[in-house]
Amino acid sequence: MSTTPTSIAGAQCRFCAEPLEATFVDLGMSPLCQTHIEPHQLNHMEPFYPLHVWVCHKCFLVQLEQYVAPADIFSDYAYFSSYSDSWVEHARRYTELVRQRFSLGARSKVMEIASNDGYLLRHFVRAGVPALGIEPAANVARVAIEKGVPTVVRFFGEQTAREIAAEHGRPNLLLGNNVLAHVPNINDFVKGMKVLLAPTGVVTMEFPHLQRLMEGNQFDTIYHEHFSYLSFVTVERIFRHHGLVLFDVEELPTHGGSLRIYARHAENESQPVSGAVSALRERERHLGYERLETYAGFQAQVHETKRALLELLIKLKRGGAKVVGYGAPGKGNTLLNYCGIRRDMLDFTADRSPYKYGRYTPGTHIPIVHPDEIRSARPDYILFLPWNLKDELAKGLDYSREWGCKFIVPIPAVTVF
């Protein structure tokens, strides 16, 4: 890990504004992961940006610099949450849990930041709990509205929070799943939650856990849409700075290992701080997440994963095997571009989202097709790009075992089963 300034001298931590000088991992140059290429764009130049991740020496926030405005990434978005059955079920279980825990009913208000296609809020709507989605991508918000989920198309921050509070009131529950890592101005975002939340309200946020990213070698979850990679101690510090107390935390298996935090106003002591908060805080401190040397060595294991995956694919292709991919997620595009995997390695990749059919993966230009193409192609191997859904994918692709197909999982270590 380099601790000397580089050519981008002047870069500052997005939370505490300290100079960024220590590298966590450098994945080279990569295109935006959700800019799937249409056929007429195949001969056009694509913009590539650095995937160079830094760790702040003061607050230990692991972060990418912002190279593209959020509006250029999220205003027309290719990710629709409803196409993952396991994620929709995760959302349903969450809604049942919080409805019971916080006694949410017809007189309550629930708001979700980055509500996507209404996959989660629809459960509140069906239960008669008033809900509002706040979603920056107009194309995704339209789908939510068609499902009966009221949604406003806005980017969230302090100003938006004030406007929504004036128009719709303040929520008893304010939630966000996999959005905290997606905001370049994390201070404005958390301040907005402080402004919008009802005096006795609760915030829940889910995000990939940095500890699991590092222990599970999950470097492919690094892409330009993810500005921050969050440990619990750093998130707690950020929320405390803006007057929000984390009173509970759960560790979840989603996305390779995530945290669900529960926050309240510092002035509201009706929710006591659970033992899980101090336990996780002390665990991370014991593991060294407030010491720079803990972050050294991650780059080396990333290099080794790249070598192992390429060695396997080269061996298979030289032996005449037909290899295809499954999925076209953001993490998959980081993996493909970093490893240099193109059509010489994968004939195509299949995805359930109709938005992606007929397009190509950014940078690597692998065709994205309907999953039915797998039956026609009868591949010998399928590379799971959304490896965090491997059990769901293996179950859905069990029919391919009829002709002896095997599955490849690249993370945390390259395995074939």
Contact status, residue 230 vs residue 257, Cβ threshold 8 Å = no
Low-confidence ranges of the chain (pLDDT < 50): 1-8
CA distance 389 to 85: 10
Per-residue pLDDT tens over the stretch 186-202: 999 999 999 999 999 99
Contacts of 367 (CB under 8 A, 6+ apart): 343, 347, 348, 349, 360
Q: Which residues contact 176 (CB under 8 A, 6 or more apart)?
A: 112, 113, 114, 204, 205, 206
CA distance 40 to 359: 10
Taking the CA atoms of 114, 117, 123 and 128 in sequence, report the sign of the dihedral they define.
positive
| Cα distance between residue 195 and residue 244, in whole Å | 11
Q: Helices 298-318 and 330-339: crossing angle, nearest 10°? A: 80
Q: Note the pLDDT of residue 69.
A: 72
- What pLDDT sits at residue 7? 37
Question: What is the distance between the alpha carbons of residues 322 and 84, in angstroms, rounded to a whole number?
Answer: 26
pLDDT at 86: 81
Domains in the chain, ordered, with CATH? 81-272 (3.40.50.150), 308-416 (3.40.50.720)
Count of C-beta atoms within a 10 Å radius of residue 89:
11
Short-list 392, 413, 401, CA closest to 374: 401
Residue 85 confidence (pLDDT): 77
Rounded to two decimals, the pTM is 0.88
Reported as a single tens digit per residue, the pLDDT across 361-394 is 999 999 999 999 999 999 999 999 999 999 999 9
Give 92's contacts (C-beta < 8 A, 6+ positions apart). 123
Render 125-186 in DSSP notation, one character per residue: HHTT--EEEE-S-HHHHHHHHHTT--EE----SHHHHHHHHHHH---SEEEEES-GGG-S-H
What does R_g of the chain's alpha carbons equal in angstroms?
21
Coil/strand/helix, residue 15: coil
